[in-house]
Structure formats: structure tokens, C-alpha cells
Chain A
Amino acid sequence: MRRYVIKRLGQAAGVLWAAYTVSFLVLDYLPGDPVTAMASAGMDSGQVDPQQIAALRHEYGFDKPVLVQYAEYLGRAVRGDFGDSVSTGRPVTSTLADALPQTLQLTGAALLLAVALGGGLAVLATYTSRRWLRQLLLSLPPLGVSVPTFWVGLLLVETFSFRLHWFPAFGNDGFKGLVLPALTLAVPTGAQIAQVLAKSLLTALDQAYVETARAKGADRWRVHLRHALRNASLPALTVVGLLVGQLIAGSVVVETVFSRDGLGRVTAAAVTAQDIPLVQGVVVFGALIFVTTNLVIDLVYPLLDPRIVVTSDRKAALA
């Protein structure tokens, strides 16, 4: 088990390093000079004189060779320092830290909703013995996956805010303001959970152990939830890990539609302003959340299915 944990931790660190390096290389390769972008923060770049540009370049270390810059930034980044945002002058880490709670609230609520809605849908669809109902329920996830988040958001706002006046259409104000954005984000996510879970539930229900359980006289719900769901939840759990990344990406759209402050909004603004330190911070931070979630999931697997650790350790021993 210890080897398993160490290996997973090592992989997580590797992913973070790769995210940092790839984003550094891409940003370095892209046209556009961060100093010009900085001078353009006030929406013009003509104002700053050449000396000032040189001074800024020096101050941010952009005048050094790329490899030196990379090494220095990486060294600082490891210690949690991503420098200052080019457009606002504030430290990247505090900008991200300010936006984080809003986005965690949103994505957390969306994930809970998605698991509840998607899981519920899958369980219900596989449990029902009415063919038409099953078909109907199973046709919902593909629909949920394919409609654009943007459109779902506007539809929800139109209905529940503009017509029914139940929730505010924009802003970060409290629980009421969270409902519509979280729901918007939960639709595609929940749909994917439902798809995967329904499929693996159907497979599980065909397995011999389910027959055995039934033969022993366990009631249908018990078989469905205790036996089949437990086994079927592994693939769904894997999907949830991947979906966390999607949720964070989706927050860009949702935070825009609902004018919420948060990481998505910060990301959109950073990209528009070519704010390189901030973009880099966002990339690494996004990777960190993704990696952490998947690490937690990897560590939960063995609790659901002890065979995973055994296999993994055996492979490691052979290698």
C-alpha cells in the first residue's frame, strides 16, 4: 500500500511539473511580448517609453535567457510564488486565492448536484422494469452532454430569474445566487456520470454474483444498491476525477454567463490581457486541483476494490 501511495504521489508531482513546463514553453513560443502587454494594460502600448520597457523587462526578468527564466520561475513556483500579475500588479497567488473560494463553491455545488442527479438517474433507469421509462431516462444523458453549457445557463436564467423571479440572474450573493450557476454546470457533468454509471450498472447486473445474491433471496433494491452499485461505481468514480477538470474549465463559461467572480473569470481576463504570469498560475493551479482530486480517487479505489493495490504492487515489483 505504501509503495502504491508513493507511486501515485510521484505521478502527481510529474503531472504538475509537466503542466508548468508545457505552459511555459507554449507561452514563450506564442507571439506577443509580456512587457508590451503590460504597457497595454491601460489599453495602449504607445505610452511607455523604451527605457521604461527595458526597466520593466528587467524587473520581471524577461531580459534573461529562456532557460534561466525557466529555472528561476520553476524554483519560485515550487515555493508557491508565481510572481505578479502583469495587468493588475497584484501577486498571482493572492489573485488566485481570492477567486478560489467562489469557484470551489460553484464547482463543489455543481459536483454534488451532478452526482446526485446523474447517479439518481442511472440507478432509476437501471432499476425500473418499465421498458419505455428506461429508454426515456437513458436518452437524457446524451442530450445533457450535447447541449452547450452557455445555452443551458441562459435558458435557466430566462426561466427561473427573468420569468419566475426565484433566483438572481447574476452576482456572487449567497446561496440563491449559487443555485442556477451550479445547476448549469451540473447538467453536462451529471449527464456523463449517468452515462458511465448506467452502463456499468447494467453490466454488473448481468454478473454471476448478482444472480447468486438474488438466489439467496436478497430483495431487488438491496441487490441493486449494495452489490451492483458498489462494483459499478468504480468507473463512475474515475469519471468524476476527470470531470473535476471539466468543471473548472466549465466555470469559465458559467462565471461569464452569471457574472460571477472566480477562477474562470480570472482565466478569461488573463488570456485576453496576455497576462503571462497569471495564465501560468492558472494552468498550474488548475493542474493542482485536478491532480489532487485524482490522487484522492486513486487512494479511495483500494477501499472499494483491494485487488487494485495488489495488482499495482505486483507490477511495480516486476518492473
Chain B
Amino acid sequence: MTALSDVRTSRWAALTALVTTSVLLTACGSGGGGSGSGAGQPKSGGTLTFAVGSDAGCVDPQQVASNETIYSVRQIVDSLTDQDPKTGKIVPWLAKSWKVSSDATTFTFHLRSGVTFSDGSKLTAQVVKDNFDAVPKLGALGTLAEGYLSGVKSTTAVDPLTVKVTFSQPNAQFLQATSTHSLGIESSASVKETPQQKCSDGVIGSGPFVLKQYVQNQSITLTKRTGYTWGSSRWSKKGEAYLDKLVFKVVQEAGVRAGSLQSGQVDAISSVGKANEAALKGGQVTLQRRANPGVVFGLGLNNSRPALKDARVRQAILYAVDRQQIADTVFPTGTQPATSVLAHTTPDHTSLASDLASDAAKAKSLLDAAGWKTGSDGIRTKDGKKLSLTVKWFPNASTNQPALELIQQQLKAVGVDVALKQLQVTQFAPTLQSGDFDAAWGNVTRADPDILRSSFSTKLANFYHLPASSLDTALSEQAATVDPAKRRQLVTQAQQSLVQNAYYVPVVELQTQLGVSKKVHDLNFDASSRIQLHDTWIG
């Protein structure tokens, strides 16, 4: 293999990894939406016991991409910035202020002074630089963090509290990336450890909680950091967190999680599915929900397949899907049908609901026009070939199979035959990369519209084999645009292009749903529909 193709492969690979990692992880997770604002005065103290369904086997926030582990490890580290879940705006956290160059290639952060890690060491520009220099060496596990920093030219400590990150190409998404757990800042001591050590022993952060104990597949225990005064500007409580201790227990069985919450053995649970809602209703439990930002659950069509090259066929599939029915029958209460390729909680989301209204008659006439005639078995044929698609999927969420079976029925009604092929988790990324699929079912969580570029730009991995078009221009320009109004306009244009050409068939938004005891207050979602427990209290 030539050097050039090696570079290309690894860049593509990194992007594949970035996209698929989030696909895998976010789909399993759930989050919490509303805040349990409640009666009474907030008070300090107490232990929050939170049951999650799985353990990623790693407690390094820079490496973990599984929602259920992010809930705990997020509390250990602070980030340079935070993101307001309502407005999508980036606000100060460890960085008091920042400046982005007009071409979105240089990001300069001014750090707050007086921040220390739990080992007593100080936060300096050098520590941030060490973090960003080490992230690209994280390897297989740290793909999210690596992706955010891809194309970084240099990171320099301008002075003890000023750090400058320069990219070789415009990279507007980087500012939002600094608000994520993946780029949480770790102490110099942790940065020097190997990725494996960080995974099993945990890391030293400057966050409101400190990792006390990690027992693989059993529990993660955190304790409050005393003397903490540098919280995000978004948090309502100044200084230390309310809770003394956080215990995350791994409880695989959804029914056991629900029963444990109902019977008071735990205070909160993750991944509440439709089947468990009834059991939790009426008790001392609140269900908190929020749609995950990013690319919605949908069918990624392989646009290079002969039948799918025809826009009319793709559009017919788009119209044949009844999103509302799928959201109502399969997904947890409150799940919204997709109104764009982006979920409505993503900054710069544009509602294209009218373009996504189900219309079987229109689907049929589009297929007629494309020359696909209905056969005796109800399946359409053209030149002796049946209109059949194989949808590849993997079981990372219990809703996948029922949702796909419903889509299968809906498409059959207009004459499209759908076969479902379940893959192992480990097979999914290679399948996307090899292009050996007609359609693939998945989603990606990311609270920045740049996820459209990672997923659909023909200059990157281009899993769905889109043809080069003006969509590419819109996607690269939004990545280079710092002006919010202009970026919004470009992102809107990209969403319209994706839906009108039916390059991707959006179906439903992934909704994170948590069950939280009524005695727990202010357990709130962050912009990525994960949780921040600094303001949470029990009373």
C-alpha cells in the first residue's frame, strides 16, 4: 500500500470510528430531560445511588463513549467550556473566555486561575496542551476525543493561563467539542499514564467529584471534591456539589432496575424502555426525558446501489415510512418522529416535518414513475428484478428490531421488499466501511450540527456513497463559519438537501429516558442529553 493510501485509510478510519462509535454508544443510552425542581430548600449531603445497565470496562472520560459510563465519569473532569442545553450556546467553565479566528482555524482559551486537580496539582495552559497532545495517541478506545482533534496542527501554551489550538483546516465544531466529556481535562500525572492504566485505574480530574472505587461490571463510586469552586457558569450552585457520594451500580436487567427504583433500593435508573414505564408510573418516581441531539435514527441508504441511485426510489422510501406510528408503537412515551436528519435538540436544527409526512400514495406514484411495476406478490419489479433491500442493523437498543419490523411492513405496503439482517456489534463498523449494505439502521449523538459533515460529506468516509454535490459545499462552509447566523443558514441548506434528495431516511429521534425518585431534585440533562450531578440534591 502506498503512503498516500495509508493516510487516506487512516483518516477515513478515524472518521468511521468517530461516527460509528457514537452510533453504538448513544443508542444504548438514555438521559434525563426535565429537572426535578421540587419543593423545599436544597441541602447538602447524602448519597445518590444510580443503576445503569452496562459497564464499558473503562473509567477514563477521554476514552469512554458509552452513555451509561459517561454518566459517572463525566463528574470526575471539568471541560474548558460548557454548552447550554436550551440554546446550544457555548459558555465558560475552566476557560473564562476564548477567541476563535475568523477562519475557524485558531482557538485561544483564557483559563481561570486557582483551579486544582484532586492530586493538588494546578491547572495550567501546559496541562491543557499535554492533554490535547496525548489525545491523538489514545488508540482504539479514544476515537471520539481523537475525532474532535483531528487535523490539529499544534497546541501551544502562550502563557501560564492561555492556550492556543491551531488546526490545518477550518474546524468550527471544535468549540463545542471542548464542552464534551471526551475533551475533559485530566492532570499531568494522568496524561502520562498509558490508555490501559487510565481505563482500569481511573484518572485525576478537577471535577466536582473524585473517583473512589471502580469494580468492573459492578460499581463506580465517587465522592465529593471538597474545596471545589470552579464550576461551569451554567450551574446554579456555586462551589462544591450538594451530594457527598455517588454510587453507580451496574444492573443489567431492565425489569430489575425498574423494580429496584420502585422499591427504593436505588434513587435513579437509566435506559427506561416503554415496557418499564407502566411499572414506574404512579409511584414515587419521575420519568425524565430528552431527545439526544445529533443524527436521528434512520435508514442510511447506500446511494450507489443501482435501485437506490434513482432519487425517486429513495424518496418513495422516505414517504412510505410512517414516523408517528413507529414512534408511538415502539419507542418510549414522548419519543418524537424525526423532523429532519438532525434531532430537534441539535443546535441549528430546522423542522422539515412537512417534507417528512407519510404519504403512501405519493410513494407509490414515485415508484410507478421510476418504472417499478407491482408484481403478483405485491412486490414491485423492473427488468425482471425485484425491488428488495437488505437492512443491516445491530442490537444496541431493544427498540431496533420492532422499529425495523414496522418499517418492513410499511414499505411492503408500497411494494418494496425489505429483508432484515442482524449483525454483531463488532461487525457493524467494518460493514459500513466496506459498503456491503443496501441500508443500515443507526443514529449518532452529537450536540453540534457538524455531525452532518462527518456523516455525509463525500470528502470524508462517505459511508452512504453520496454523489458529490452542492451539499458538500454547504457542509464544508459551515465548518469554516464562525458567524452563527451564516452557519445556521448553511446547516439548514444541508438538512434540506439531505431530506429532499432522500440521501438518508430519518425516522425517529433517540430519546434518553431516566427514572428518578421524587426525593432527588435537579438531576438535569446537559446539551448532549447526558447528566451533570453538581446541582443535584436529595431531600
- In the complex, are the beta carbons of B426 and A158 less than 8 A apart? no
Chain B residues contacting A47 (CB-CB under 8 Å) are: 13-14, 16-17, 139-140, 143, 146
Q: Is A172 part of the contact surface with B, judged by Cβ < 8 Å?
A: yes
Cα–Cα distance between A47 and B10 once the two chains are bound (Å): 7
A32, A36, A46: the one within 8 Å of B17 (CB): A46
Cα–Cα distance between A41 and B196 once the two chains are bound (Å): 12
Chain B residues contacting A273 (CB-CB under 8 Å) are: 426
A32, A43, A169: the one within 8 Å of B256 (CB): A169
Taking Cβ atoms with an 8 Å cutoff, the residues of B that contact A are 1, 6, 9-10, 12-17, 20-21, 24-25, 51, 57, 63, 65-66, 139-143, 146, 196, 215-219, 249-253, 255-256, 259-260, 262-263, 265, 424-427, 429-430, 433
- In the complex, are the beta carbons of B425 and A49 less than 8 A apart? no
In this complex, what residue of B is CB-closest to A102?
B218
Q: Which 9 A-B pairs have the closest CB atoms?
A: A46-B16, A42-B141, A40-B426, A44-B17, A42-B140, A46-B13, A47-B17, A162-B259, A162-B263
- In the complex, are the beta carbons of B140 and A48 less than 8 A apart? yes
Chain B residues contacting A263 (CB-CB under 8 Å) are: none
- In the complex, are the beta carbons of A32 and B426 less than 8 A apart? yes
Cα–Cα distance between A216 and B24 once the two chains are bound (Å): 75
- In the complex, are the beta carbons of A259 and B253 less than 8 A apart? yes
9 interchain pairs (CB within 8 A)?
A43-B21, A44-B16, A46-B13, A46-B15, A46-B430, A161-B260, A169-B259, A259-B250, A269-B217
Q: Is A10 part of the contact surface with B, judged by Cβ < 8 Å?
A: no
- In the complex, are the beta carbons of B425 and A265 less than 8 A apart? no
Q: Is A174 part of the contact surface with B, judged by Cβ < 8 Å?
A: no
Closest approach, in angstroms, between the C-beta of A16 and any C-beta of chain B? 28
**Looking at B21, B218, B255, which has the most chain A CB atoms within 10 Å of its CB?**
B218
Chain A residues contacting B63 (CB-CB under 8 Å) are: 42
Closest approach, in angstroms, between the C-beta of A119 and any C-beta of chain B? 31
Q: Is A23 part of the contact surface with B, judged by Cβ < 8 Å?
A: no
- In the complex, are the beta carbons of B13 and A261 less than 8 A apart? no
- In the complex, are the beta carbons of B259 and A256 less than 8 A apart? no
Chain B residues contacting A165 (CB-CB under 8 Å) are: 263
- In the complex, are the beta carbons of A171 and B218 less than 8 A apart? yes
Taking Cβ atoms with an 8 Å cutoff, the residues of A that contact B are 32, 36-50, 87-89, 154, 157-158, 161-163, 165, 168-172, 256-259, 261, 265, 269, 272-274
- In the complex, are the beta carbons of B140 and A39 less than 8 A apart? yes
Cα–Cα distance between A45 and B19 once the two chains are bound (Å): 12
Closest approach, in angstroms, between the C-beta of B280 and any C-beta of chain A? 12
B12, B143, B216, B259: the one within 8 Å of A44 (CB): B143
**Looking at B17, B25, B65, B215, which has the most chain A CB atoms within 10 Å of its CB?**
B17
Cα–Cα distance between A43 and B139 once the two chains are bound (Å): 12
- In the complex, are the beta carbons of A170 and B256 less than 8 A apart? yes
Chain A residues contacting B21 (CB-CB under 8 Å) are: 42-44
B219, B253, B426: the one within 8 Å of A274 (CB): B426
- In the complex, are the beta carbons of B196 and A169 less than 8 A apart? no
A36, A38, A42: the one within 8 Å of B430 (CB): A36
B24, B255, B425, B433: the one within 8 Å of A154 (CB): B255
- In the complex, are the beta carbons of B250 and A89 less than 8 A apart? no
Chain A residues contacting B251 (CB-CB under 8 Å) are: 169-170, 259
**Looking at B196, B262, B426, which has the most chain A CB atoms within 10 Å of its CB?**
B426
Cα–Cα distance between A265 and B57 once the two chains are bound (Å): 13
Given A44-B429, A274-B426, answer yes or no on A171-B249 (Cβ-Cβ < 8 Å).
Answer: yes
- In the complex, are the beta carbons of B259 and A272 less than 8 A apart? no
- In the complex, are the beta carbons of A42 and B142 less than 8 A apart? yes
In this complex, what residue of A is CB-closest to B217?
A261
- In the complex, are the beta carbons of A256 and B253 less than 8 A apart? yes
- In the complex, are the beta carbons of A32 and B140 less than 8 A apart? no
In this complex, what residue of B is CB-closest to A45?
B429
Cα–Cα distance between A273 and B16 once the two chains are bound (Å): 19
Closest approach, in angstroms, between the C-beta of A256 and any C-beta of chain B? 5
- In the complex, are the beta carbons of A49 and B6 less than 8 A apart? yes
In this complex, what residue of A is CB-closest to B13?
A46
Closest approach, in angstroms, between the C-beta of A92 and any C-beta of chain B? 15
**Looking at B66, B140, B424, which has the most chain A CB atoms within 10 Å of its CB?**
B140
Cα–Cα distance between A49 and B6 once the two chains are bound (Å): 8
Chain B residues contacting A50 (CB-CB under 8 Å) are: 1, 6, 9
Given A44-B429, A265-B217, answer yes or no on A88-B57 (Cβ-Cβ < 8 Å).
Answer: yes
- In the complex, are the beta carbons of B252 and A256 less than 8 A apart? yes
Chain B residues contacting A256 (CB-CB under 8 Å) are: 252-253
Cα–Cα distance between A157 and B256 once the two chains are bound (Å): 8
Chain A residues contacting B146 (CB-CB under 8 Å) are: 47
Chain B residues contacting A158 (CB-CB under 8 Å) are: 259
Chain A residues contacting B252 (CB-CB under 8 Å) are: 256, 259
Cα–Cα distance between A89 and B259 once the two chains are bound (Å): 35
Cα–Cα distance between A311 and B482 once the two chains are bound (Å): 90
Chain A residues contacting B215 (CB-CB under 8 Å) are: 261
**Looking at B51, B256, B427, B430, which has the most chain A CB atoms within 10 Å of its CB?**
B256
Given A154-B256, A165-B263, answer yes or no on A170-B249 (Cβ-Cβ < 8 Å).
Answer: yes
- In the complex, are the beta carbons of B426 and A45 less than 8 A apart? yes
- In the complex, are the beta carbons of A274 and B424 less than 8 A apart? yes
Cα–Cα distance between A40 and B6 once the two chains are bound (Å): 20
Given A32-B427, A36-B430, A259-B251, answer yes or no on A46-B57 (Cβ-Cβ < 8 Å).
Answer: no
- In the complex, are the beta carbons of A44 and B255 less than 8 A apart? no
In this complex, what residue of A is CB-closest to B255?
A154
Given A161-B259, A162-B259, answer yes or no on A44-B265 (Cβ-Cβ < 8 Å).
Answer: no
Closest approach, in angstroms, between the C-beta of A178 and any C-beta of chain B? 15
Closest approach, in angstroms, between the C-beta of A282 and any C-beta of chain B? 15
Given A43-B24, A43-B25, answer yes or no on A37-B256 (Cβ-Cβ < 8 Å).
Answer: no
Closest approach, in angstroms, between the C-beta of B254 and any C-beta of chain A? 11
Chain A residues contacting B425 (CB-CB under 8 Å) are: 40, 43, 272
Closest approach, in angstroms, between the C-beta of B240 and any C-beta of chain A? 29
Closest approach, in angstroms, between the C-beta of A65 and any C-beta of chain B? 24
Chain A residues contacting B256 (CB-CB under 8 Å) are: 154, 157, 169-170, 257-259
**Looking at A37, A44, A89, A273, which has the most chain B CB atoms within 10 Å of its CB?**
A44
Closest approach, in angstroms, between the C-beta of B527 and any C-beta of chain A? 22
Cα–Cα distance between A153 and B6 once the two chains are bound (Å): 52
- In the complex, are the beta carbons of A36 and B259 less than 8 A apart? no
Chain A residues contacting B427 (CB-CB under 8 Å) are: 32
Closest approach, in angstroms, between the C-beta of B194 and any C-beta of chain A? 10
In this complex, what residue of B is CB-closest to A259?
B251
- In the complex, are the beta carbons of A172 and B140 less than 8 A apart? no
Closest approach, in angstroms, between the C-beta of A51 and any C-beta of chain B? 8
- In the complex, are the beta carbons of B424 and A32 less than 8 A apart? yes
Chain B residues contacting A45 (CB-CB under 8 Å) are: 17, 426, 429-430
- In the complex, are the beta carbons of A49 and B9 less than 8 A apart? yes
- In the complex, are the beta carbons of B20 and A44 less than 8 A apart? yes
- In the complex, are the beta carbons of A168 and B16 less than 8 A apart? no
Closest approach, in angstroms, between the C-beta of B56 and any C-beta of chain A? 8
B250, B260, B429: the one within 8 Å of A169 (CB): B260
Given A42-B143, A154-B255, A172-B218, answer yes or no on A37-B17 (Cβ-Cβ < 8 Å).
Answer: no
Chain B residues contacting A38 (CB-CB under 8 Å) are: 140
- In the complex, are the beta carbons of B20 and A259 less than 8 A apart? no
Closest approach, in angstroms, between the C-beta of B253 and any C-beta of chain A? 5
B9, B15, B57, B262: the one within 8 Å of A87 (CB): B57
Q: Knowing that A161-B260, A259-B218 are A-B contacts, what are 14 other residue pairs whose CB atoms are under 8 Å apart, sorted by A's residue number? A: A37-B426, A39-B140, A42-B140, A44-B143, A47-B140, A48-B140, A49-B13, A161-B265, A162-B262, A163-B263, A169-B263, A172-B218, A261-B216, A265-B217
B142, B259, B265, B429: the one within 8 Å of A46 (CB): B429
- In the complex, are the beta carbons of A168 and B265 less than 8 A apart? yes
Chain B residues contacting A49 (CB-CB under 8 Å) are: 6, 9-10, 13
Cα–Cα distance between A169 and B265 once the two chains are bound (Å): 8
Closest approach, in angstroms, between the C-beta of B17 and any C-beta of chain A? 4
